[in-house]
Structure 1
Amino acid sequence: MFFESDRLNFFRPIAGKHRTVVVACLRTLYERLHGPSADYGQNLTRDSLRDLLLPVVQDARHLLAQARQDEADSEDESTLPSLIPDNADDQQSTSAVVRALHSDGWLETFGDRAGLVTAYRFSRAGKLFAEAFWALDRRSARTRQRNVRSCRNALNAALRNIDAYDLVDAYEYAEKIISDISEGVDYFQELVRRLMLEASQTPWDNFMEFLDRFEKEFKKQLTADSIERHRQAIRDVIAQLHSLDDAKSRALEAQLNDIARWAMQERVGASTVDWMLERIEEMVEAACTTKHPELIKAMSVYMQRAASIVQQALMLRGGQTRQAYTAAIAKTASLSGDAQNALLARIGQTLAPAEIRLLDPATFKLRTISQRRKALTVTAQPKVSRDARLAAALYRAEADAFALSNDDVVQRIRAELRLRDRPIRLSSLPTATTTDVLNNMQMVEAIRGARDPSLKITKLPNKLWNDFYAGDDYQIEMKK
C-alpha cells in the first residue's frame, strides 16, 4: 500500500548518486517549514524555494566533490541513478532537485489564496522522513530528562482527580522513560566509537563536551530524576489505583475507553485501566532493571576508554621529554670546543630554574620480623570452621521457613472462598499459627500477582489491627 500512485518511487531521490545533496536540501526545507524558527506567515513559492535551496546545493556539491577527490569511493556509483546532470550549473541542479522531490512524493503543491500563487509544502510521508534526517543532524534541545517525575505526577493526578487523561499521560511518559535512557546509552556508545576511530588524537573536545552534558543532563538523570528514586513511589500509586472502589473504578474505565480506543484493541483482559497500569509498571520495571544498568555500564566503559587514551597521551608526552634529554646529550657529544661550551651554557640557562629534591635515605626503614609475620597472617585465606558452617545453615533454614509461594497462598484462599461461599475479609482470616500470619500478610500481593480474573480484591476504608501487624483491610471475593 505504501508504493502506490505518487509514492511509487518515493525513495529514488535519496538512493541516487547525489543523495547527499538531496538530504541536505530536505534538512533545510524542514527547518524552514517546521523547525523552531519556521515562518508560518508566508508560504513557500517556487521562487522562494529555489532561493532557499540554491546555497545549500552549492555547499553540498562542493563538499561532495572534495570528498571524492580526497578518497576513492568503495561503491561503484556508475550504475546509480543521477538526478542532476554532470554538466549542470547550480541553478539547474536546484531545479532538478525540486522537480525530483515533487514528482516522487516528497513535496506537494497547494493554492495560496492570499497571494493567488502555487505554494509548496511537505507531503505527509515526506514530512515524517525529512524530520528523521533533520533530527539526526540536530543536537537535542533538552537540558534534562524529567519523564520519570512526570510519570509519577501524572499518576498522582489520576488518583486525585479520577481523570483518564492523566492516566494516558502517565502511560506516554512511561514509554519515554526507556527512550530517554536508550538515548543516553546510544550517546556513550557513539563516544566510544569515536575514541576507537580517533585513538591517535587525545579526545579533549569530546571529553569536555561530555563533562558539560553530564553537568546539565546526566547528573539530574542519575539523581533527582533517577528511576531508582521514584520506582517505589510509582508502585505505591499504581497499587492505590488498582484498589479504587467500584464506583470510581467504573467511572475511570468508562472515561478511558472513550478517549483511548487504541487501548481497548491492545489490552489483554477485561479492564483497560488494569491493563494500562500493568503496562506502566512493566515499563518502569524494565527501565529500572535493564536500561538503567546499561546506561551506567556504557558510561563506565567510555570513562575507562577515555582515561586509558589520556594516560597513553601523557606517557607519550613524557617519553618525548625524555627523548629531548637524550638528543641534547647526543648533540653535546657530537660537538667540541667552543661550540660544545656554548650549547652547554644554553642548556644550563634552561635548567637553572629547575628544582631537584631527593628523599632522605633515613626515612626508608625495613619492617620488623613481627610485622612481616602479621602481614602474612592477614593475607592468608581463612579456614571455615564447623560453627561457621552451622550458623550459615541455620540462617538459610530461617530464611526458607518464612518464604511462601504466591501460588500456594492463592490456592489456599480460593479453597477458603469455595468453602464459605461468600466474600471474606482479610481481618477475618485466622492468625493461630505463623503460617496463617504469613499467608495473610502476603495475600494481597499474591492475588494481584496471579492476575486471576475470577478473584477480586477490594480495599476497605477501615484498618486491620491484630497482635502481629497493622495495615489496610481488604475484601476478597470470587466472581461467579
Structure 2
Amino acid sequence: MQDHFLSKARVDIFRPFTGRHRAVFFEVVTEIYERTLGVNADYEIVLDRLALTEIIVDALDKNRSLIFSGEEGDEELDCAGDDRDYADKVRKRLKRFGVIEEYNDSAYLKVLWRFTPEGKRIAKMFADTRRKTSVARQRSVRACKGALKAFSEEGNHEYLVDAYEYASTIFDDVCQVSDLFTEHQRRIMGHSFSTSKEALVGYMLGVNDFDKRASRYFDSDNIYNHASDIVDLTESIAAMNPAVLEAADRKMMDEHPALEEEANGERLHTWMLARIRRVVESTRDIKHEELHRVVGEFSTNYAILIGRLIKLSAVGNDDPLIRFAGLFAAAGDEERDEICREMLHHLFPLRADLIDPADLKIADRADRARTPTVIVRKQRSREEMLAADIRNAMTAAFAVPAKEVVSRVHAAVLANGGSTSVTQLPVGDARQLLAAMSAVEIVRSLGPEIGLTVSVGDECRSNGAFRTVDHKISQRA
C-alpha cells in the first residue's frame, strides 16, 4: 500500500503558512530553496544557523509589508524584540512543524540545517510559482519522444523510465500555456479603455507579449507535431523482442520499486507505455482543442469591444445616451430624481387603448386533422424468397468468424515459436484458405485485444493457393 504524504510528514506541516505571518513564511521557505537547491543556487553556501538567520532577516526586510494587520494576532511573532529574534522564532517554528531540520555535518564538523524530504517538496512547489522561464516550453514532449526513440534503439531501461517521467508533465505544460493566456485575457479585458485607439494599443502589447512567451506552442512546440510520433514509438516498443522487454522490466523493478507498486501487478513496460499514450492523446484531443477555442473566442470578443469603442468615438457628444449619462453623473440627488421623473414621463405611454370586454369571444378548439395511414406490405414471390435464401447461404459459406480466424492464427504463431507469416498459415481446406486471406485485416483491427501484431513484409510470396505480400504476424510483448 502506498504511503500517504502526511503519513511521513507531520500532519500539521502546513501550520506555519497560516495566520498573519503566512506570507513571510512563504517567502522565507522559497528563498531558502532558491539559495540552496534552485536553478541559481549558491552551491558554496554553508547553511548554518548564522546563514539561515541572515536569509530569514533579509526575507523579512523585503516583505515586512506582507504581514496582514486585519487578522487575529500571533503573540509569539508579534512580540519579537528585533529582526534576529523574529528570525529565531521563525526558524524554531519551521523546525517544530517538520519543514526544516538540523543535522551534524561530518565535513564541516558543525550543525547545519536542511529541508526535510516533505519540506523540500513543499518548498519546491512554492518556488515553482515564481518560475517564468519554464512557461510555454514543451520540453517534456520533445524529451519524451527522444527518450522513447533511444529506448527502441538501445533497449536501456533508464530511457523508458525517463520517457515516463517526461510524459507525466506534458499535460501540466499545456495547462501552463492555457493559464498564461487566461491571465493575459483577464488583464486586457479588465482594463478600462477610453478610446478605441488606446484599446487597440493595449491589445497589441498583450499579443506581442503572448507571442514572445507562448506562440512557439502553436507552431514548433505544438503537441500535434509530436503526439503521433510518440504513439507510434510506444506501439513499436510494445512489438519489440519479448526478451529485451522482460529484461528491462526486471531492471526497473530492482531499481524503481515504486513503479512496480503503481503498476499493481501489470507488466511494467506495458503499464508505462499505456500511461504515456493516454497522457499524450488526452493532451492533444482535450486541452489543445480547448486552448484553440478559447483563443478564437477571445479574439472575437475583443473585436466586438473595439468596434463598440470606435462607434462611440465616432458619435462623440452627439450620442443621446452619452449626453444623458454625463448629465446624470453631474447632477445632485434632487436633480437626479427630477431627471428620472422626466425620463419616465417620456418613456411611459400617455394613452392606453383598452379592448371592449364584449368583443372578447372564446374560440372553439378545432379538431386535429389526422392523415390516414395504411401500411401495405408487398408479398414476395417464391422466386424472390429463393434468391434471398441462396444469397444468405452463399454469404454464410464464405464467411469465417473473427474468433475462428484469431484461434487459427494463434495456433500457427505458437507452432512457429512466437511468429508466423501469411504464406505459412495452413490452407488445406476452404475455411483455412478464407481464414488465411482475412488474417491480416482481423489481426490489425483486434491486435491490442488478442495480443498479436502485424509487420509489413518486404516481398510477395505464394503458398500455392494465392500470392500476396508476406506480412509477419507476431505475438505482442
Q: TM-score range by the shorter chain?
A: 0.5 to 0.7
Question: Helix, strand or coil: the match of 2:171?
Answer: helix
Aligned AA (1:158): F
Q: Relative to structure 1, is the Cα distance of residues 441 and 132 closer, same or farther in structure 2, using a 3 angstrom cutoff?
A: same
Partner of 2:127: 134
1:41 and 2:33 correspond: no
Task: Look up the equivalent residue of 2:138 and give its one-letter code.
Answer: Q
Partner of 1:226: 222
Q: 2:157 aligns with which of 161, 164, 184?
A: 164
Distance verdict in 2 for CA 1:426–1:57, change over 3 Å: same
**Which of 79, 84, 91 does residue 98 from structure 1 map onto?**
91
The alpha carbon displacement at 1:215 in A equals: 3.9
Q: Of the candidates 5, 10, 24, which is equivalent to residue 7 of structure 1?
A: 10
State the match for 2:25 in structure 1. 22
Superposed counterparts of 1:53-72, under 5 Å: 53-64=56-67
In structure 2, which of residues 287, 304, 309 is the aligned counterpart of residue 291 of structure 1? 287
Task: Report how far residue 471 of structure 1 moved.
Answer: 6.4
Say whether the 8 Å CA contact 2:454–2:474 is kept in structure 1. Answer: yes
Change in CA separation of 1:132 and 1:233 when aligned onto 2, cut-off 3 Å = closer
TM-aligned CA distance change 1:223 to 1:112, over 3 Å = same
**TM-score, normalised with respect to structure 2:** 0.65
- More deviation, 265-274/7-16: 265-274
Distance 2:11 2:230 in 1: 48
SS at match of 1:278: helix
Tell me whether 1:427 sits opposite 2:423 in the alignment: yes
SS of equivalent to 1:44: coil
1-structure distance, mates of 2:164, 2:94: 37
CA distance change for structure 1 residues 203 and 468 in 2, over 3 Å: closer, same or farther?
Answer: farther
1:419 offset after TM fit, Å? 8.6
Q: Measure, in 2, the Cα distance between the counterparts of 1:289 and 1:176.
A: 16
Q: In the alignment, does 2:411 pair up with 1:414? A: no
* Alignment partners' CA distance in 2, 1:7 and 1:280: 33
- 1:263-305 residue CA offsets vs partner (Å, 9 max, x unmatched): 4333367533233223222222222212221222233344344
5 Å-filtered alignment, 1:182-201, equals 182-195=175-188, 197-198=190-191
Question: How much does 1:81 deviate?
Answer: 4.3
Deviations 1:41-74 (A, max 9, x none): 1313333333333243233223546xx6xxxx6x
CA distance in 2, matches of 1:3, 1:140: 31
Contact 1:31 1:134 in 2 (8 A): yes
Whole-Å Cα distance in 2 between the matches of residues 203 and 99 of structure 1?
53
Q: Per the alignment, in what secondary structure is the counterpart of residue 101 of structure 2?
A: strand
Question: Counterparts of 1:264 and 1:249 in 2: how far apart (Å)?
Answer: 15
Distance 2:115 2:205 in 1: 38
SS for the counterpart of 1:84 is: helix
How does 1:102-121 map onto structure 2 within 5 Å?
102-112=95-105, 117-121=110-114
Q: Which residue of structure 2 aligns with residue 300 of structure 1? A: 296
Unpaired runs of 5+ in structure 1? 328-407
Distance (whole Å) between structure 2 residues aligned to residue 282 and residue 100 of structure 1: 43
Count of residues paired in the alignment: 382
1:171–1:276: 8 Å Cα contact kept in structure 2?
yes
SS at match of 1:7: coil
3-state SS of the aligned residue for 2:471? strand
Cα contact 2:444–2:454 (8 A) shared by 1: no
Q: SS of the residue aligned with 2:169?
A: helix
Counterpart-to-counterpart distance in 1, 2:80 and 2:168? 50
CA shift, 1:315, in A, is: 5.1
Residues 1:235 and 2:227 are matched in the alignment: no
Asked if 2 retains the 8 angstrom alpha-carbon contact of 1:7 and 1:105, the reply is yes
Residue among 258, 271, 274 paired with 2:270: 274
After TM superposition, give the deviation of residue 312 of structure 1 in Å.
Answer: 4.9
Q: Please show how residues 350-389 of structure 1 align to structure 2 within 5 Å.
A: none
Gaps spanning 5+ residues in structure 2: where?
Answer: 324-399
Question: Structure 2: how far apart are the matches of 1:288 and 1:414?
Answer: 33
Change (3 A) 1:305 1:436: farther
Query: Quick one: which of 143, 147, 152 aligns to 1:154?
Result: 147
1:51 to 30, 47, 54: 54
* Post-superposition offset of 1:413: 1.7
* Alpha carbons 2:405, 2:439 under 8 Å: kept: no
- For residues 305-327 of structure 1, give each alpha carbon's deviation from its aligned partner in whole angstroms, at most 9, with x where no partner exists: 4444455555555565879xx99
Give the whole-Å Cα distance in 2 for the aligned partners of 1:222 and 1:471: 42
Instruction: Report the secondary structure of 2:113's partner residue.
Output: strand
Q: 1:209 to 1:95 in 2, by over 3 A?
A: farther
**Quick check: 2:99–2:116 contact (8 Å CA) kept in 1?**
yes
The CA RMSD over aligned residues, in Å, is 4.2
- Aligned-partner Cα distance in 2 for 1:436–1:460: 18
3-state SS, counterpart of residue 153 of structure 1: helix
What percentage of aligned pairs have identical amino acids? 24
With the length of structure 1 as denominator, give the TM-score of the two structures: 0.65
